[in-house]
């Protein structure tokens, strides 16, 4: 069994660790901040890495925000970033659909279950879409809706993809509509499948909770473009031309962040203990996912010399 090397308080080990990597991929929630509160010393730690010539990339599964929204959030917490430094599951999905997926010319529209972040990213890649935040879908079903969904007259024949992310305005009409598209052959994609979303020191329904009804009804599991999917890693690698061996994933969740780094063949993974998982979670007999390194908190890296 592999073991995780503990770096907190060990300047020599931290120096050796930092020397191994040129690029650091950061999960955000639980690593940099919790909700709207940035962890102490995080902006300074990111500055230190940049001073040492490291590339810093923010990798998030939250598809309700676009890259621009994240740049604003980072700035508000004292962390400077460009849009190109941010990689979200909405963007990852949009890139895949526009650049890799080959759809027939008459099936290029995406039906979106989700929020504005997905719409912004699809728009930035010139992918046509319907649904999403369209206010005409935020209402109860009528008897006419049942008929028009069943006979297909309420459906857009050009929809070839259903893309599902976290939708704070989920309702029966949207679920029924997405289901009809998938059962008529639309490809079923998810921005990510996290069951919950942390907020206010608790947990709330995540994108996986919007995916779950459709997976049950259709008997299909969607391809997901969030961590730990290989599609997300392929999209990041395509964009940044990463040397995987010189790249390290930093995160708080074993089953998304650390798994993502390991499955993606990165040179290293660094776990922080400020989020979901604790060291007891990988220090058990038969632990499936073990990080390469860990620190109590990200700012412990500041003892580098």
Nearer to its own copies, 30 or 206 (CB): 206
CA-closest candidate to residue 161, choices 96, 217, 219, 117: 96
Residue from 11, 52, 84, 172 binding its own copies (CB under 8 A): 172
Residue 140 assigned as binding residue: no
Residue from 37, 200, 241, 280 binding its own copies (CB under 8 A): 200
H/E stretch holding 268 = strand 268-272
Q: Is 137 in the site for its own copies (CB under 8 A)?
A: no
Mark 213-232 with x for binding to its own copies (rule: CB under 8 A) and - for no binding: x-xxx---------------
- Whose tokens are 């890649």? That residue is 125
The first and second tokens of residue 123, run together, are 């728009």
Q: Is 190 in the site for its own copies (CB under 8 A)?
A: no
Pick the catalytic residue from 19, 22, 29, 69. 29
Least separation in angstroms between residue 190's CB and its own copies is 12
Ranges assigned E (strand) in 80-191? 86-88, 109-113, 129-131, 159-164, 187-190
Site for its own copies (CB under 8 A): how many residues? 36
Least separation in angstroms between residue 159's CB and its own copies is 17
Cα dihedral 162, 164, 168, 173, rounded to 10, equals 30
Is 82 assigned a catalytic role? Answer: no
Is 151 assigned a catalytic role? Answer: no
Q: Is 141 in the site for its own copies (CB under 8 A)?
A: yes
Pick the catalytic residue from 10, 27, 82, 296. 27
DSSP 8-state symbol, 105: G
Least separation in angstroms between residue 227's CB and its own copies is 17
Cα dihedral 214, 194, 232, 97, rounded to 10, equals 30
Nearer to its own copies, 8 or 34 (CB): 34
Q: For residues 45 and 298, is the Cβ–Cβ distance under 8 A?
A: yes
- How far is it, in rounded angstroms, from Cα 167 to Cα 115? 6
- How far is it, in rounded angstroms, from Cα 179 to Cα 33? 36
Residues in binding site for substrate: 227
- Contact set with its own copies (CB under 8 A): 140-141, 146-147, 149-151, 167-172, 175-176, 179-180, 183, 195-196, 199-206, 208-210, 212-213, 215-217
């Amino acid at each position: 069994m592999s073991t995780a090397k503990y770096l907190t308080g060990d300047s020599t080990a931290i120096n050796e660790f930092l020397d191994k990597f040129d690029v650091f991929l950061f999960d955000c929630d639980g690593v940099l901040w919790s909700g709207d509160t940035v962890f102490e010393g995080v902006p300074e730690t990111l500055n230190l890495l940049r001073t040492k010539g490291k590339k810093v990339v923010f990798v998030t599964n939250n598809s309700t925000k676009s890259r621009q929204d994240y740049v604003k959030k980072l700035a508000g917490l004292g962390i400077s970033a460009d849009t190109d430094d941010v990689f979200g599951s909405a963007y990852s999905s949009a890139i895949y659909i526009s650049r890799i997926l080959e759809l027939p010319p008459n099936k290029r529209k995406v039906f979106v279950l989700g929020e504005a972040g997905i719409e912004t990213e699809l728009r930035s890649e010139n992918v046509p879409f319907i649904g999403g935040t369209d206010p005409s879908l935020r209402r109860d079903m009528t008897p006419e809706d049942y008929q028009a969904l069943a006979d297909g007259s309420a459906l857009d024949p050009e929809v070839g993809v259903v893309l599902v992310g976290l939708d704070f305005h989920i309702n029966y009409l949207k679920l029924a509509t997405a289901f009809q598209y998938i059962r008529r052959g639309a490809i079923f994609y998810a921005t990510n499948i996290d069951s919950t979303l942390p907020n206010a020191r608790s947990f709330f329904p995540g994108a996986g909770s919007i995916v779950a009804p459709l997976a049950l009804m259709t008997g299909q599991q969607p391809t997901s473009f969030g961590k730990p999917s290989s599609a997300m890693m392929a999209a990041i690698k395509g964009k940044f031309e990463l040397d995987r061996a010189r790249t390290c994933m930093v995160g708080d969740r074993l089953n998304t962040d650390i798994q993502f780094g390991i499955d993606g063949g990165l040179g290293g993974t660094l776990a922080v203990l400020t989020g979901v998982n604790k060291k007891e979670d990988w220090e058990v007999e038969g632990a499936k996912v073990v990080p390469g390194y860990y620190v109590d908190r990200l700012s412990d890296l500041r003892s580098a010399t």
